[in-house]
A and B are shown apart, each in its own frame.
Chain A
Amino acid sequence: MELSSTLLLAGLERTLNALLARDPAAPSRLARLAGQRILLRLEQPALALAIHFHPAGLDLLRTDDTAEEGFDAVVEVDAETLGELLGGASVERLMFQGKLAVRGRTHLLEATRDLLLDLDLDWEAELARWLGDIPAHSLAEGLRSLSRWGLRTRQEFCADVSEYVFEEARLLPGRHQLETLRDQMTEMEIATDRLEARLARLRRRLSEPGMPP
């Protein structure tokens, strides 16, 4: 148990450092963060994680050190909020909602998120190191045109399907038809309401004593 979580952390640390090493923008960001330490306390599952930044990447260590004075920032968060944070939610919003507690230098958290989320890997250079410049470039061009083709095909497919469903087969009403229908239904609803009110008034007047039949 001790070793499997250590293994997971070691794997995560290696992966992150390998990715950071491939990002041309990472060294300057890391240089600003180097020497800083963040304590990340996860509530569920209970886990205290120390993140140490150094010029070549970061160290992830589990810590049983409860003293907070050794850290530049302490972040307390649950797994759900951590997901939101990594998904790009604003730090201030989460703090105001009370889901995220940050003590110390709060900007470290934003800097860390930028470092990890704005990874822009120069993967073509990495391919070139393995395959040589020309094959890597042709492969990269091939992959790029494949991805362009994929995107275009997806857009065209969606357009074709909607055209068929709305215009040709008329399986579903279009947005304008739907809106007209809804307006007419609303008018009818109002008219029936008025009719009902009028009938009620008539009935009341008929049943009132002293009124001529």
Chain B
Amino acid sequence: MDSELSVIEKLERSMEFDKDRPMKAGALRALYETLAEHLYHQYEPTRGSSNARLSRDFIVRLNEWLKCFRSEEDQWIAFKSIEYFFFAGQSEFDELYRCAFDHVIKPWIIDENNIDIFSAESTGILNQELAKIWPCPISDSLRINSFLHLTGLKGQSLRPDWMSLNSLGDPGKIKDFCDKENLKYLVLIEDFIGSGGQAARLLNFALSVFNGPILIIPLVICAQGDKKIRGKLEAIGRANVKYQPVTIVPEVCMVTEELQTQQPAFFDQLRVVLKNGYNIINQKMDGEEYGWKKTGSLIVLYSNCPNNTPPIYHKVTDSWNPVFPRFDREAEVKR
């Protein structure tokens, strides 16, 4: 019987290309098993599989993905590339929520109101002002309820995502709601922003509807998206809009078309494998092998894999079994 881990086991034995490969492969496999038990098993599009062992579930999926490549060298590079991923799990998001509240929202309110933090009344004033915040997600991927539960921020009865509002919302009604509820501040939060195109477009709408102070907080944002949003806000030039991400993933961590200074040299090899895999997938996609708008982010969230991540990692087709299958709005994920 063929082992379900045939490719990984081959990498752990093969010295065809590199005499140190078996040791490196063994160490990486052990690392991935540990990460799978603590982190990767949280990946929602594949959670709930029947396997009784968390680590094996991931390792089998990894093996199935590696099988899709045509050469052992490509399989090795793909296998190794997982080490470079930033997987934001549930605990990471809990911490991102906490940071967003304690280190971004609260200081912003304090600054907006010139609260003297050494005065006895400061806590009372801060709490009063926090109650006037309308915290909303930019898109429905940010779980606003979890954010409110974990931070203790009260929130409002309506917490619509502004992508939907942009399409379906009535600006008049939104203004009425803000007046009625005495909402003084709008806080727009997003779990992940890649190239920033969608978020930048949304800003026009949000800024046209809400005249009060606005705070925009991406929890994780790629450098390209960060640049785009800053540029957009600078162009708009409205003084009472603040933009402050919690985590900016720098370009040196992305597999960009050109090798940047300080990027790992390994990305040169990875770039070839992204292309080879993209060719096997054989579907035209925006950003081609680098992912949406050529972002090339090596990022996975526990809730889904962004399409800014290269498609070899997430694209599901009949002949391609990705390691982090993406739950597309259009396509069902293969478990």
On whether the two chains bind one another, the answer is: no
